[in-house]
Amino acid sequence: MRYNRPIRLCFVLLFVTSVFSDKLSWSGDAADRCFCKLQGEVDDCSCKVESLDSLNNNKIYPILTSLLSRNYFRYFKVNLKKSCPFWSDDSRCALRDCHVNVCQKDEVPIKIPDVDTHSEKHERNKYLKELNEGKQGFEERCAEERELGALDATISEEKKAEFQTWKEYDETLPLFCDIDDEHSNDMEYVDLLLNPERYTGYKGPSPRRIWRSIYEENCFKPEKNYGYGPDYGKDASIESMFFIARGMCLEKRVFFRLISGLHTSINIHLCDKYLFPAKNGFGQSYWDHNLQEFQQRFDPALTHDQGPQRLKNLYFTYLIELRALAKAAPYLKQKGFYTGDNQEDEDVQKGVNDLLDIIRKFPDHFDESQLFKGNTKEMQQLKSEFVLHFRNISRIMDCVGCDKCKLWGKLQVLGMGTALKILFSGDSMGPDSIVKSQDKDFQLTRTEIVALFNAFGRLSSSIHAIETFRKLAS
């Protein structure tokens, strides 16, 4: 599809409109552009978007939302103190560790790394110029972003005492594999309900560097150029990678779409729970749906025609984690969700069983047996690369410069990794295969289970939010 008018004009109009309105109302044509392609079969699957919308919004989302408010799932054990293993912290001063009390002028980085793109240099210089000129309001924004990105670490002493009994119970269970830092003194419980995933103000060079590293250094690339420039292997943009993903083998496409689906889900939560300034400058700021932000991230006219594909990749990632829960259903039904409160534990187990029954009855699950077929040396090497790339992405999460963003990034990557672990466990693979508690070579820790359910919950809430934006745009 071609557009005769310059895209630049669209951005100007969007900017002017946003000055006078908290939200941007779409015309019918603009709404159709974003959602008309979000239908039919999900790539590399036989399942349709419409079927997943119905399953999620009518059955899974209500049960899952209630389940994740329970004590077993609301407290996540995580290490947020690990330093970035790949580069020194380059985040803006406002988004450094939440223990930094003030945002001093000399904390703003002035050295531009060589790997920065032109746009990143421009944005960093813009903030540096603003700081040097002493423009009013910079420190206020700095403080606001630091507040949005900081964690609420409130945990009662009674709850901390309960955690010790949880730990003693978990240590009696055999482990399938060690989780990073599981026994580290830096591992702490975080209340996820007090720290919801939403807009934090984390933007600019630091998050761009995170996603560029994930896409350009860790996602598989096709052997051929496919006509996207001679320097594709080194300088490919995130946008161009959406195009060339079609030139990859199934395993590499799966990996790419998993990461893209995660990225899409995070962006949708940012749009769905966006912080708007007080109206007319009076009163308090408020959280609401930001239709304009959603449009800029997913309207094909503003995303090189890739917005709808990003949304479809979300459904693909949802299908992968849905299939993992179905495969692990027999194991999870016998697992026991221990908190020390017998009634609470029974209620959680019942809720989990109800959810798993709905998931297992779904007829169109992803077929993982199509991946890594055969025992050839090439397939074994590809599987090793698959695991290596994913582990590398999990390590990149420690480079995120906003504590809340890091929390949800680590949780969702661990949840996705747990889903992949389930898919490739057991005696067989395919839609009818399962893992059971009797399988000696399979075990999930509490942290893995909490991450698995909460990560799936994030994908579920994203698909639910798409329906909200569809209605707002109509």
Q: Which residues are catalytic?
A: 402, 405
Kindly give, in sequence order, each residue whose CB lies less than 8 Å from that of residue 287, ignoring residues fewer than 6 positions away: 198, 199, 273, 274, 275, 276
Helix (H) / strand (E) containing 267:
helix 250-272
Asked if residue 264 belongs to a known ligand binding site, the reply is: no
Enter the tokens of residue 95.
Answer: 């988004």
* Paired sense of beta strands 75-78 and 188-191, if any: antiparallel
Is 408 a known ligand-binding residue?
Answer: no
Residue 446 marked in a binding site: no
> 243: buried, middle or exposed (CB in 10 Å: 19+, 13-18, 0-12)?
middle
Judge whether 260 is annotated as a binding position.
yes
- Helix or strand or coil: residue 189? strand
Report residue 393 as tokens.
């992405």
Of 340, 303, 305, nearest in space to 71 by CA: 340
Q: Are 72 and 339 in contact (CB under 8 A)?
A: yes
Q: If you search the block for the tokens 């890091």, which residue do you land on?
A: 406
d(CA 302, CA 159): 47
200 marked among binding-site residues = yes
Q: Residue 463: helix, strand or coil by DSSP?
A: helix
Q: Which residues pair with 188 in a beta bridge?
A: 78
437 belongs to an annotated ligand binding site = no
- Measured from the Cβ of residue 64, the count of other Cβ atoms closer than 10 Å reads 23
- Could you tell me if 426 and 151 are in contact, meaning their C-beta atoms sit under 8 angstroms apart? no
DSSP state of 371: S
Q: What is the distance between the alpha carbons of residues 445 and 177, in angstroms, rounded to a whole number?
A: 9
Euclidean distance between CA atoms 459 and 53, whole angstroms: 12
Angle CA(46)–CA(304)–CA(7) in degrees, nearest 5? 145
Structure tokens at 41: 């079969």
Give residues with Cβ within 8 angstroms of 225, minimum separation 6. Answer: 232
Instruction: Give me the residues paired with residue 106 across strands.
Output: none
Integer CA distances (angstroms), 38 to 167, 266, 300, 309, 466, in order? 44, 18, 11, 8, 10
Name the residue among 221, 306, 322, 217 with its Cα closest to residue 267.
306
Which residues define the annotated binding site? 198, 200, 211, 260, 263, 297
Which residues define the annotated binding site for FAD? 198, 200, 211, 260, 263, 297
